[in-house]
Amino acid sequence: MRQTHSTSYYNGDMPLLSNFPLAAIEPRLRTLLPADLYAAAWIEPTPQTLQRVFDHLRALQRILHDYMPRYLSDNPPTPGEARHSWQESTLMFTDLVGFTPLMEANASRGREGAEALLNVLNNYFATMIEIISKSGGNLLEFTGDAMLVQFPPNERDSETTQAVRAALRMQRAMTNFANIETAQGTLSLGMRIGLHRGRFVTADIGTPRRMEHVLLGKAVQDAKRAEGQGMPGRVNLTQAVYERVCDQFRFECGKPGYMLAVDDLGDEELGEYEINRISRRASNPVLFDRSVEGLVDSIEDTLTSVEPLASYIPYPILELIVQSIARRQITPNFNQLTVLFVNVIGLPESVDNTLPEEEQTLINSFSRAFVMTNAAVESRGGVLKKVTYDIAGSDMLIYFGIPNAHVDDPIRAADAALAICDIIGKFPSLTVRGREINVSYQIGMAQGSAFSAEFGEPRGRREFNILGDTLNTAARLMSRAVGNRILITESVYNVIAPHFKCTSLGVMPLKGKAQPMPVYELEGRCK
């Protein structure tokens, strides 16, 4: 039974918490209300103010719903509750080609350039998300300018066909981005698409303060590898996908082990969609009783729906979302960031070999790694944005400098990287089918400009994210940091050298870089 809410709140000029209408849920509101609205609700909790609180939480619920994959927004767990399940689906990875020159062409124009770049990105993502949705897919996540999409099984057993057809439609739509006018001339964007079908684990891990939704298993890595082995403008299929659709499309040989779908279909034959688009809009809480008691009850009900979704957003980003709701947009910007990519190897790919009784132990171990890493980053003022996917293990994208910048962000990032090394190095042993799992890490760190914005469908599926060559550089260094190492760029070294022990590795060629780069290894703290 709900408590009775008293409307007698003041004793002279002093608020009495015991009679504060929102007293029972006040601690839960502290991180979900903007500062001015929280103050107004505390000082003068009139029906008008409580209506504003309700309206804010309702708007926040809609935004967080749009930040989540459909499965998670419709079925959020209790924050802190670990759960997992096996799924078999067709997975699509995409990656945008040509973004770095486009970003560089707009970076010198400041806010105007940021708005122009956001318009291009939003047009791109809105176009692709609409095709994915109409084709029966579910966008699981943005990773920079890349996307991970799931096509779950359906009654017609046609999800793999739908994935191929969606991919062909998406490549056709890229013609809209072949000629983008900028101050530095005409630029174009391309896209690689890889498809794989297999069995994998979906898991919700973390604590009530910070949750994360992850996919684990070799099938996820194979899908990522298919994108990496593809080429711009084409749809690259693994053998597992090809065997299911080989009689429905024409194909050409790609790289060894892959097939490329040939788009020789007429416009009517390919069509625009497989199924009717599924709406992503959240059901809005309805307010029937506008008395103080009724408003408080409605606020509490909405709060209960918001909290599970909010736990999946890094706290600094959640605060940014909360404070920007009245403006209806997070301002896009170019920022100086320090970026870490951390690859945890051993745990994610071991899930395929576990016995049923070992699965939860493995998931709990991966959750432990995530929780402790997030704590190490958060306590130093950084953001662990998400767990994403690599051809080996799972990557953690970490950055320092937004939304809260510090003059010593590279030093904070270096200290966090070493803390993560300690966490993984001291990780409790885990056995799968009688064999001990060797958990290791690879870390890359870079410093430079990045584009930050809330992008996707402006009133649909979207996320706050960062993009730019600084992320690519950190990821390339991570891939070279084999054997529990931390590799850093020269610009990072120049800032942190007085505080940390670093060794020069000379110049090193990195994928996507025209010239070899000076690279250093971060080894420890100066005594």
Structural domain spans, the chain: 10-67+284-312, 78-270, 331-525
Tell me the pLDDT tens digit for each residue of 59-76.
Answer: 999 999 999 998 888 888
Tell me the pLDDT tens digit for each residue of 105-155.
Answer: 999 888 899 999 999 999 999 999 999 999 999 999 988 889 999 999 998
pLDDT score of 485 more than 60: yes
Tokens 């850093």, located at residue: 488
The per-residue DSSP string of 109-175 comes to THHHHHHHHHHHHHHHHHHHHHHHHHTT-EEEEEETTEEEEEE---TTS-HHHHHHHHHHHHHHHGG
Tell me the pLDDT tens digit for each residue of 337-352.
Answer: 999 999 999 888 899 9
> What pLDDT is recorded for position 19?
65
Q: What is the phi/psi pair of residue 443, to 5°?
A: -130, 130
The number of CA neighbours under 13 Å toward the Cβ of 465 is 22
What the block records as the tokens of 80 is 């802190």
> What pLDDT is recorded for position 284?
67
As a whole number, mean pLDDT of residues 284-300 equals 83
Going by pLDDT thresholds of 50, 70 and 90, the confidence category of residue 376 is very high
> What pLDDT is recorded for position 459?
83
Phi-psi region of 311 (alpha: psi -120 to 50; beta: other; left: phi over 0): alpha
As a whole number, mean pLDDT of residues 79-92 equals 92
What the block records as the tokens of 349 is 């790919």
> What pLDDT is recorded for position 512?
79
d(CA 251, CA 476): 32
Q: Please count the other Cβ atoms lying within 10 Å of the Cβ belonging to residue 449.
A: 14
d(CA 423, CA 428): 10
As a whole number, mean pLDDT of residues 457-481 equals 92
Taking alpha carbons only, the member of 485, 389, 375 closest to residue 441 is 485
Cβ(331)–Cβ(312) below 8 Å: no
Q: What is the phi/psi pair of residue 506, to 5°?
A: 75, -160
> What pLDDT is recorded for position 8?
44
Going by pLDDT thresholds of 50, 70 and 90, the confidence category of residue 379 is very high
Cβ(448)–Cβ(337) below 8 Å: yes
Cβ(445)–Cβ(416) below 8 Å: no
**Going by DSSP bridges, is the β-strand pair 235-238/190-206 parallel, antiparallel, or unpaired?**
parallel
> What pLDDT is recorded for position 1?
42
pLDDT score of 285 more than 80: no
Cβ neighbours of residue 518 under 8 Å, at least 6 residues apart?
Answer: 489, 490, 504, 506, 507, 508
Taking alpha carbons only, the member of 198, 129, 197, 131 closest to residue 166 is 131
d(CA 197, CA 475): 25
Taking alpha carbons only, the member of 480, 475, 502 closest to residue 491 is 502
Cβ(304)–Cβ(85) below 8 Å: no
The H helix count followed by the E strand count for the chain is 17, 22
Q: Please count the other Cβ atoms lying within 10 Å of the Cβ belonging to residue 499.
A: 14
Higher pLDDT, 525 or 277: 525
Taking alpha carbons only, the member of 334, 360, 307 closest to residue 60 is 307
DSSP assignment letter at 76: P
Taking alpha carbons only, the member of 112, 75, 506 closest to residue 332 is 112
The number of CA neighbours under 13 Å toward the Cβ of 2 is 16
Going by pLDDT thresholds of 50, 70 and 90, the confidence category of residue 188 is very high
> What pLDDT is recorded for position 253?
97
Going by pLDDT thresholds of 50, 70 and 90, the confidence category of residue 34 is very high
pLDDT score of 510 more than 60: yes
Cα end-to-end span (Å), the chain:
59
CA 443 → CA 143, 338, 480, 522, distances in Å? Answer: 17, 13, 9, 10
* Average model confidence (pLDDT) across the chain: 91
> What pLDDT is recorded for position 527?
76
pLDDT score of 57 more than 90: yes
The per-residue DSSP string of 358-390 comes to GHHHHHHHHHHHHHHHHHHHHTTT-EEEEEEE-
Going by pLDDT thresholds of 50, 70 and 90, the confidence category of residue 193 is very high
Cβ(159)–Cβ(89) below 8 Å: yes
Tell me the pLDDT tens digit for each residue of 196-224.
Answer: 999 999 999 999 999 999 999 999 999 99
pLDDT score of 3 more than 70: no
> What pLDDT is recorded for position 6?
43
Asked if the domains at 78-270 and 331-525 fall in one CATH topology, the answer is yes
Element (DSSP H or E) covering residue 339: strand 333-345
Question: What is the homologous superfamily of the domain 331-525 according to CATH?
Answer: Nucleotide cyclase, GGDEF domain (3.30.70.1230)
> What pLDDT is recorded for position 78?
86
Q: Please count the other Cβ atoms lying within 10 Å of the Cβ belonging to residue 356.
A: 7
pLDDT score of 167 more than 80: yes
Cβ neighbours of residue 138 under 8 Å, at least 6 residues apart?
Answer: 69, 70, 71, 132, 149, 150, 151, 152
Tokens 């919700």, located at residue: 204
Cβ(496)–Cβ(338) below 8 Å: no
Higher pLDDT, 86 or 11: 86
As a whole number, mean pLDDT of residues 457-472 equals 91
Q: Calculate what percentage of the chain has a pLDDT beyond 70.
A: 93
> What pLDDT is recorded for position 276?
46
As a whole number, mean pLDDT of residues 370-383 equals 97
What is the distance of C-alpha 471 from the center of its chain?
A: 14
Cβ(88)–Cβ(199) below 8 Å: yes
Cβ neighbours of residue 83 under 8 Å, at least 6 residues apart?
Answer: 77, 203, 204
Cβ neighbours of residue 497 under 8 Å, at least 6 residues apart?
Answer: none
Give the fold, CATH level 3, of 78-270: Alpha-Beta Plaits (3.30.70)
> What pLDDT is recorded for position 14?
52
